[in-house]
Amino acid sequence: MTESNDTPIQTEEGDERQHRRIKSFVMRAGRMTEGQQRGLDQGTPLFVLPLADAPVDFDQVFGRSAPRSLEIGFGMGHSLLEMAAASPEQDFIGVEVHRPGVGALLNGVLTQGLTNLRVYDCDAIEVLNRCVADNSLDRLMLFFPDPWHKSRHHKRRIVQASFAELVRSKLKVGGILHMATDWEPYAEYMLEVMNVAPGYRNLAEDGKCVPRPTERPITKFERRGERLGHGVWDLKFEKQS
């Protein structure tokens, strides 16, 4: 999710201050289950990475060189867990500040015995700026970010020209920025931003959205939305330069 205050907030309305900057989240409270707490207690020392001051050598972190994907805002982690389990030959990095979600993901990693997934529990923009080397990612995923429906809140959206440029700097040539949203106006907004972002190519044949990629798991929320006739829009942009 996206917020532009210098500190996390508890409500969508936020605090209308000066000197804003885009952040990748809004902090929201949540109750912790026993499994989530187990994940935090046992999984944090093994799988949570600290915010570094220099690009991290992920080959050393994972003990190998492999295709590498980073997901911003993995929520409760169900999709990221499924992707990591289905592709043991790839490495995955998840970024999320919601503590119950981090705990749920870590509990799943422990339960399934996965070794190809690491986590940052801090602001994704900081992670990209400080921890990820340029031209190092094969894919960056942004699934169902907060669309900030109200016009006066559009500036809080994570998808901005500056975000597109930051992601492009971190992707390898040929790397993919994959975004998904269940709100059509936000999909249209994403297209507006990305169509003028330099160095990208839209992979949709019609220049708009791609069919739902098989590698993106369908969430329970998405299945419920489909039953109610709600749509989901996937966008894929390839870094060309």
| Catalytic option among 91, 121, 146, 234 | 146
Contacts of 85-91 spanning 24+ positions with Cβ under 8 A: 85/112, 85/114, 86/215, 87/116, 87/215, 88/114, 88/116, 90/66, 90/116, 91/58, 91/62, 91/64, 91/66, 91/67, 91/116, 91/117, 91/118
Residues 176, 20: contact at Cβ < 8 Å? no
Q: Which helix (H) or strand (E) holds 200?
A: strand 200-202
Residue 146 bears catalytic tag: yes
Q: How many residues does the chain have?
A: 241
**Annotated binding residue at 239?**
no
**Annotated binding residue at 221?**
yes
Q: How far apart are CA 11 and CA 110, in angstroms?
A: 32
**Annotated binding residue at 163?**
no
**Annotated binding residue at 115?**
no
**Annotated binding residue at 220?**
yes
Reading the block at residue 182, the tokens are 């269940």
* Lateral strand order in the sheet of 171-181: 117-120, 91-95, 68-72, 137-143, 171-181, 233-239, 200-202
**Annotated binding residue at 138?**
no
Catalytic residues: 146
Which segments are annotated as binding site?
71, 96, 123, 146, 150, 182, 219-222
Which segments are annotated as binding site for substrate?
150, 182, 219-222
Which segments are annotated as binding site for S-adenosyl-L-methionine?
71, 96, 123, 146
